Structure formats: structure tokens, C-alpha cells
């Protein structure tokens, strides 16, 4: 990689991301080609067998219409089962959402699933979360 | 609510991450330690295993009042509930009480394979010790509170075969019961039979909340690990330590039997036949969720005293899935040695039978969409004996 390419990687690529930074301090961010989703759990440390909520901020990347709906779910890929509870997602202002009713009922590796629907398509964004 | 499915889940994926070492009893260097510093506490357990073990305590846990039951923890209600628990007139024929099947001398079980009311029931009678710690009640979790669960057998035609009309009249007409009701609830029994019956359930719940098992040798070992107290830890029998290592290691039992009460409070299908009789299936959790959502006395109902419904999150969000067919509640393992027989239908007679069941698990009997970490453990006879020794220490 020559100097010009390196500078492009440093400055151009981040600028595309900076155009779509969901405003949620302290949140983890997961991205698809059309969306960036920041999420933060409450409480921050998820406990086995305890209900928790997820605060989300979603922003659309270049030219993508705002989300029509956001769905939050989770599963344990190795166990091949999901949660025993269905999260309810309530939208708030400014691209923010709150999902409540989630519970991870076993220790191990879970995977958050964020389905963001816009313009007739659904982007599925996932993120692993290991519970000790 | 009966002890069964003892060893939880078998399998390999998580076990692979828990590297094994010699166990505690075999480690001659066990002794020096830095109190409270797990990282330097030289047991035969790995640090990951110690962390797992610590998650199964402390015991007893801090007990909280049930916000959905305004008389939870109230002495007058506890006394009234105890009276009702042994009151045979609560039943339709005046001959059976809660204590007929939940015998105090048998750790609040009946010792039978399946419960017996007016007919033989489909399921094993659950024990009541530590029942207050449940999230769901009954093998199928059809009740979301201890007070709702306490009403269920009273009005079930197969069990005590009474009715809310019967209970309301009894409590109103009997001077002693009416007085005890007044002391517990601050007013005499109302004319609303449903309300009086639910309040009787709340008093019964208040009494059952007092039924908690004492500390055990496992608890002493667990706390010794936490303190870094090698001398105290040595007192835990070697066989139990070996069994514990299997429990938090290759057995993966802790995945379902998690936490101080050794249950995650949820449901699983482990391949126990769920034909209650020829041609009749026990739907397990699937039917339980349906009953829960249809109930007029769940935590979302007006009978709950939790105005904010903060305790109703599970009921509000529970999800009915096809995989719930044949799932039954993961029982606590505390006091399991005293609550035989095991499984939702009393299918297995001894703890040894239970461990052997998991050791030889028939994967063909598991649902295609069931738990995928269940695998036969293929334990040796010595390992089975060790796991039983551990279970007996709870």
C-alpha cells in the first residue's frame, strides 16, 4: 500500500463512518452496508436469568431512508435456540429505540440480532456477547 | 416443581474451554493462599471452574418480599397460610389438604412417582423447599406467582376438587379462619369468592416462602474458595469435589442448573417421554404458556398487588414457540437427595439413575429443534458415583 492509499484508508473510510455515527455514549456499534446501530444494555453487565433492556441508536448511511422498523432478538448459535422471551421495541426521538423484556437464561455465547427494515429490505446486524 | 433432570446438560463446546487439572484433593500443595484472591488460590480447579463454582452461592440468598403479594413476609399471613396448608376442609370432600401431597416429613414431597389426588396425576409432586426462588411455578410454568400456583391444586378437579365458592364460604363461615384472614389482610373475608380464594393463595404463599433449605457442605466449600481458606475447603469430601469438577466442567450441568439455587428457572427438553398415558401427550411448557396467558390470576391481572407490574416482565414477554412442546422446568438441585423420584413424571428412582440417564442420553429422543448441547456424557461408574456424591452434598 503506497502512501496515498494509506492516507485514503485513514481519512476517507472513517469519514464515511463519521457521517453515520449513532449518538449513544458508551455504546457498542455494529454496522451493515446501509445502517450503523449503536446499542447499550441496561444494566451494562447482563446477568444470567435477569431481564434487561437495550437502548439503541440507528442511523442510515448515504441515501438510505430512515428505518421503518427495528427488531431486537438474540440466540445461542451453538445451542441452536433463542431466548424464551420476545423483546418489545419502542421508538423514541432522533433514531433512538428502547427494547425491553430480553433475558439470557444460560451462560455462554449469545448473539444479538438487530433487524433494521427500510425501503423494502431488512438488514440483519449481529454481535456476539459472552456471558460468564 | 419437583427435583428431576439432575445433571443438566452434557456436551462438549463449553467444556473444551474449561481446561482441567488435578482436582483439589490430589494436590499436595493445596494450602498456602492469599485470602480473597482467587487468582493465587492453588486449588485443583481451574480459575474458570472456581468462577463457575462461586456463581452457585452465596447461600442462603438475600430474600425479598414478593411485590405482587402484599402480605408476603407478614407474620399474620404466614400463620394464616400455615393453618390453611394443613386444612383438609379446603378440599371438595374435606379429606385432603396441601400437606396430604406435600408432606413436611418428606421434604414437602410425597415420595411417589406421580402425584395422587382424586386420580393419579400426570406429574411428580414437586417439593416446596426454596419454592419462593422460582420464576415460574409448576412443571410447565403455568403460574407466574406462588400465590396463583397455590390456588391451582385447590380448584383442580383431579386434586383437591374444591371451588372458589367453596373456599370463600369456608373462610367466611369459620370464625377462626375468618379471624385469621382479618389479621392477615386487615379486613374480614369479602363476599367476592375469587378474591377470598386468591387471598388464601397469598397467605399460603407467605407460609411457603418460609421454607428454605439450610446451608450445606457445598456452601461451606464454595465460601472457603471465595475466602481463599484452604483448611476449610479441605473438609469437603474428595468424591464431591470430583463430582463438582464434572458438574462445572465436561458435564456442562451448570448451564441449566445455574446459580445459588442450581436452576436457571427456565425449561428444557431432555428426552424424557412426555406421553402421560396411551394416546395422551403432556405438552409441558407449551401448554403452560397457554394456561398462563389465559389465566385470570396472572401477574398482569388485577389480583397482583404490584401496581407497577414490575414483577410481570416474564409474563409480558414470554414467547410461545413450537420447541416448548415437551419442555419442563429445570428443577433446583438443592436438597435433591431427599426428593426422589426424579423427572417431571417420576421416571427415575435415584440420583444414580439420573446421572446414568445423562451419561447414556439417547439423542434420538430429543426434539430436532431442542437443546443442541445435550450429548451423552459416557461417564465411568466412578465418575457417576462422584457426581452423585456432589449432588448429595447440596
Which residues, in sequence order, are CB contacts of A43 under 8 Å at separation 6+?
A52
**What mean pLDDT is predicted for residues B185-205?**
98
d(CA B199, CA B182): 11
d(CA B231, CA A99): 48
In which band, very low, low, confident or very high, does the pLDDT at B279 lie, cut at 50, 70 and 90? confident
Which residues, in sequence order, are CB contacts of B346 under 8 Å at separation 6+?
B2, B4, B112, B113, B114, B123, B124
Written as one string, the DSSP assignment of B92-103 is: TTSS--HHHHSB
What local confidence, expressed as pLDDT, does residue B132 receive? 97
Residue A8 gets which letter from DSSP? I
Q: Is A85 helix (H, G, I), strand (E, B) or coil?
A: strand
d(CA B167, CA B248): 47
d(CA B168, CA B324): 36
In which band, very low, low, confident or very high, does the pLDDT at A2 lie, cut at 50, 70 and 90? very low
Q: Cell match 400437606: residue? A: B99
Written as one string, the DSSP assignment of A34-63 is: SEEEEEEEESSS--TT-EEEEEEEEEE-TT
What local confidence, expressed as pLDDT, does residue B367 receive? 66
What local confidence, expressed as pLDDT, does residue B274 receive? 79
d(CA B350, CA B54): 27
What local confidence, expressed as pLDDT, does residue B33 receive? 36
Provide the angle, in degrees to the nearest 10, between the axes of the packed helices B47-54 and B217-227. 120
Is residue B277 within a helix (H) or strand (E), and if so which, with residue range? strand B275-277
Instruction: Reply yes or no on whether the pLDDT at B4 is more than 50.
Output: no
In which band, very low, low, confident or very high, does the pLDDT at B368 lie, cut at 50, 70 and 90? low
CB contact under 8 A, B373 and A132: no
B19-56 pLDDT, tens per residue? 232 233 333 333 333 334 444 444 689 999 999 999 99
Residue B65 sits at the vertex; the CA angle it makes with B174 and B296, to the nearest 5 degrees, is 60
Which residue stretches of B119-216 are H helix?
Answer: 146-155, 164-173, 175-185, 193-208
**What mean pLDDT is predicted for residues B283-304?**
97
d(CA B309, CA B289): 18
What local confidence, expressed as pLDDT, does residue B370 receive? 57
Instruction: Reply yes or no on whether the pLDDT at B162 is more than 90.
Output: yes
- Cell numbers placing B374: 445435550
Q: Is A25 helix (H, G, I), strand (E, B) or coil?
A: coil
Mean pLDDT for all residues in chain A: 87
Which residues, in sequence order, are CB contacts of B242 under 8 Å at separation 6+?
B23, B25, B383, B386, B389, B390
CB contact under 8 A, A78 and B373: yes
Q: Is B47 helix (H, G, I), strand (E, B) or coil?
A: helix
d(CA B394, CA B244): 11
Contact (Cβ atoms closer than 8 angstroms) between residue B49 and residue B245: yes
CB contact under 8 A, A101 and B313: yes
- Report the range of poorest mean pLDDT among A45-54, B23-32, B196-205: B23-32
- Report the range of poorest mean pLDDT among A3-7, B169-173, B248-252, B283-287: A3-7
Q: Is B349 helix (H, G, I), strand (E, B) or coil?
A: coil
Contact (Cβ atoms closer than 8 angstroms) between residue B144 and residue B137: yes
A79 neighbourhood in chain B, CB within 8 Å: 371-373
What local confidence, expressed as pLDDT, does residue A9 receive? 36
- Cell numbers placing A104: 439470557
d(CA B162, CA B185): 22
Q: What residue ranges in B311-351 does DSSP mark as E strands?
A: 328-329
- Cell numbers placing B31: 494450602
For residue B135, the distance in angstroms to the closest alpha carbon of chain A comes to: 9
Is residue A114 within a helix (H) or strand (E), and if so which, with residue range? strand A108-118
d(CA B15, CA B46): 12
What local confidence, expressed as pLDDT, does residue A19 receive? 58
* Chain B contact residues (CB < 8 Å to A): 13-14, 51, 135, 254-256, 258-259, 264-267, 313-314, 316-319, 321, 323, 369-373
In which band, very low, low, confident or very high, does the pLDDT at A8 lie, cut at 50, 70 and 90? very low
Nearest to B264 among A78, A80, A105 (CB): A105
B129-141 pLDDT, tens per residue? 999 999 999 999 9
What local confidence, expressed as pLDDT, does residue B5 receive? 34
For residue A41, the distance in angstroms to the closest alpha carbon of chain B comes to: 16
Contact (Cβ atoms closer than 8 angstroms) between residue A41 and residue A110: no
* Chain A contact residues (CB < 8 Å to B): 48-49, 51, 78-88, 100-103, 105-108, 132
**What mean pLDDT is predicted for residues A76-90?**
95
Which residues, in sequence order, are CB contacts of B360 under 8 Å at separation 6+?
B376, B378
pTM of the model: 0.87
In which band, very low, low, confident or very high, does the pLDDT at B369 lie, cut at 50, 70 and 90? low
Which residues partner with B268 through β-bridges? B328
In which band, very low, low, confident or very high, does the pLDDT at B363 lie, cut at 50, 70 and 90? confident
Instruction: Reply yes or no on whether the pLDDT at B108 is more than 90.
Output: yes
d(CA A69, CA A71): 7
Give the ipTM: 0.85
Chain B residue with the nearest C-alpha to that of A75: B371
What local confidence, expressed as pLDDT, does residue B2 receive? 37
In which band, very low, low, confident or very high, does the pLDDT at B300 lie, cut at 50, 70 and 90? very high
Number of H helices, E strands in chain A: 2, 9
Amino acid at each position: 500500500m503506497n502512501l496515498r492509499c494509506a492516507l485514503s484508508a485513514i481519512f476517507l473510510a472513517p469519514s464515511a463512518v463519521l457521517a453515520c455515527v449513532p449518538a449513544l455514549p458508551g455504546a457498542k456499534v455494529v454496522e451493515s452496508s446501509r445502517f450503523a446501530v449503536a446499542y447499550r444494555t441496561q444494566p451494562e453487565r447482563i446477568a444470567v436469568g435477569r431481564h434487561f433492556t437495550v437502548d439503541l441508536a440507528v442511523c442510515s448511511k448515504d441515501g438510505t431512508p430512515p428505518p421503518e422498523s427495528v427488531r431486537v432478538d438474540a440466540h445461542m448459535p451453538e445451542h441452536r435456540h433463542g431466548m424464551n422471551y420476545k423483546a418489545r421495541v419502542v421508538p423514541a426521538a432522533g433514531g433512538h429505540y428502547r427494547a425491553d423484556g430480553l433475558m439470557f437464561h444460560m451462560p455462554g455465547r449469545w448473539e444479538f440480532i438487530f433487524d433494521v427494515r427500510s425501503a423494502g429490505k431488512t438488514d440483519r446486524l449481529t454481535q456476539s456477547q459472552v456471558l460468564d | 416443581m419437583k427435583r428431576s433432570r439432575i445433571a443438566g446438560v452434557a456436551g462438549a463446546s463449553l467444556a473444551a474451554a474449561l481446561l482441567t487439572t488435578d482436582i483439589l484433593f490430589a494436590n499436595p500443595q493445596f494450602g498456602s493462599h492469599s485470602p480473597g484472591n482467587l487468582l493465587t488460590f492453588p486449588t485443583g480447579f481451574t480459575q474458570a471452574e472456581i468462577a463457575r463454582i462461586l456463581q452457585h452461592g452465596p447461600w442462603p440468598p438475600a430474600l425479598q418480599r414478593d411485590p405482587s403479594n402484599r402480605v408476603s413476609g407478614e407474620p399474620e399471613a404466614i400463620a394464616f397460610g400455615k393453618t390453611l396448608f394443613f386444612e383438609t376442609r379446603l378440599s371438595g370432600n374435606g379429606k385432603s389438604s396441601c400437606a396430604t401431597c406435600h408432606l413436611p416429613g418428606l421434604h414437602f414431597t410425597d415420595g411417589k412417582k406421580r402425584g395422587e389426588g382424586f386420580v393419579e396425576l400426570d406429574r411428580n409432586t414437586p417439593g416446596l423447599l426454596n419454592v419462593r426462588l422460582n420464576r415460574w411455578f409448576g412443571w410447565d410454568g403455568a403460574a407466574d406467582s406462588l400465590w396463583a400456583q397455590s390456588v391451582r391444586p385447590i380448584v383442580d378437579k383431579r386434586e383437591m376438587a374444591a371451588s372458589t365458592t367453596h373456599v370463600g364460604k369456608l373462610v367466611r363461615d369459620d370464625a377462626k379462619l375468618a379471624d385469621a384472614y382479618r389479621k392477615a389482610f386487615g379486613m374480614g373475608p369479602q363476599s367476592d369468592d375469587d378474591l377470598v380464594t386468591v387471598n388464601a393463595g397469598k397467605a399460603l404463599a407467605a407460609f411457603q416462602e418460609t421454607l428454605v433449605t439450610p446451608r450445606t457442605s457445598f456452601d461451606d466449600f464454595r465460601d472457603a474458595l471465595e475466602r481463599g481458606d484452604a483448611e476449610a475447603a479441605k473438609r469437603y469430601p474428595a468424591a464431591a469435589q470430583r463430582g463438582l469438577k464434572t458438574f462445572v466442567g465436561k458435564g456442562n450441568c451448570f448451564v441449566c442448573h445455574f446459580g445459588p439455587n442450581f436452576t436457571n428457572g427456565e425449561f428444557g427438553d431432555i428426552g424424557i417421554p412426555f406421553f402421560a398415558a396411551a394416546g395422551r401427550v403432556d405438552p409441558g411448557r407449551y401448554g403452560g404458556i397457554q394456561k398462563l396467558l389465559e389465566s385470570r390470576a396472572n401477574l398482569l391481572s388485577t389480583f397482583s398487588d404490584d401496581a407497577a407490574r414490575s414483577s410481570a416482565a416474564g409474563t409480558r414477554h414470554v414467547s410461545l414457540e413450537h420447541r416448548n412442546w415437551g419442555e419442563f422446568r429445570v428443577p433446583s438441585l438443592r436438597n435433591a437427595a431427599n426428593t426422589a423420584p426424579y423427572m417431571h413424571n417420576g421416571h427415575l428412582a435415584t440420583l444414580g439413575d439420573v446421572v446414568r440417564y445423562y451419561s447414556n442420553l439417547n439423542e434420538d429422543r430429543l426434539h430436532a429443534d431442542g437443546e443442541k448441547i445435550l450429548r451423552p456424557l459416557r461417564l465411568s461408574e466412578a465418575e457417576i458415583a462422584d457426581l452423585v456424591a456432589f449432588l448429595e452434598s447440596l
